[in-house]
Amino acid sequence: MTADTHPLRCRCGALQGQIERGGPTSRMVCYCKDCQAFARYLGPAARVLDAQGGSDVVQLAPHRIRFTRGIEHLAVMRLSPQGMLRWYAACCRTPVGNTMTSRNLPFTGLLVPCLDSAPLEAAFGPVLASANTQSALGEPKPRAFGLPAALLRILRIVAGSRLSGRYQVNPFFTAAGAPVVEPTVLTSDERARLDAPSAAV
């Protein structure tokens, strides 16, 4: 690991990698029901979510991510047949991040549990937005902020990767554009069971 990279690591250390620093990045807390359901799928949800059900997400272009060890532990699921790809380390069920279903939309939201083995703010800055607060747990709901600017940062991430051609370098997709692992797709009943805050996996 160098000063130009940030470590990526699952809890047990079987899956490891690094993130190239210096490119456009956005960081937000998302309180949506899908992010909460993913955390409950991995269990225990408190390892991922804050007290009100928020996930701290670092958003960047996937070409900046490189796995260096344990790629065989990388797994992926979808909350529904139309859902985005949600990646995790199967060895210890540490969340890795979310991607779109096509390599042609180069965007990854990395979840902080796989990144916090080193100080986050030096590499990715502070949280700049809070989204989907209507789905937060408890009252009062957290304040939503920064979403318009966050959307512009995401557009910059996607456009920059596409225009540079680096979108074709994506550790989550094969050279042919398919996910490197076959996704597990939840049934509607499995998804519904994850909606309860007390859901057990």
Is the bond preceding 113 in cis, omega lying within 30 degrees of 0? Answer: no
> Is 112's pLDDT higher than 50?
yes
* Tally of CB atoms within 10 A around 156: 15
Across 2-6, 49-53, 131-135, least confident range: 2-6
Beta strands 184-185 and 74-78 are: parallel
Average pLDDT (110-132) is: 93
pLDDT at 164 over 70: yes
Does residue 76 contact residue 184 with C-beta atoms inside 8 Å?
A: yes
Give CA–CA dist 38/45, Å, rounded. 8
Q: How many residues does the chain have?
A: 201
- Before 140, cis peptide (omega within 30)? yes
Least confident range from 96-100, 148-152, 181-185, 193-197: namely 193-197
For the chain, report the end-to-end CA distance as a whole number of angstroms.
34
pLDDT grade for 177, boundaries at 50, 70 and 90: very high
Please tell me whether the overall predicted TM-score, pTM, comes out greater than 0.75 for this model.
yes
The arithmetic mean of pLDDT across residues 23-31, rounded, is: 95
DSSP 72-98: GGEEEEESSTTPPEEEEETTTTEEEEE
Quote the pLDDT of residue 199: 61
Indicate whether 38 pLDDT > 90.
yes
Question: How many C-beta atoms surround the C-beta of residue 32 within 10 A?
Answer: 17
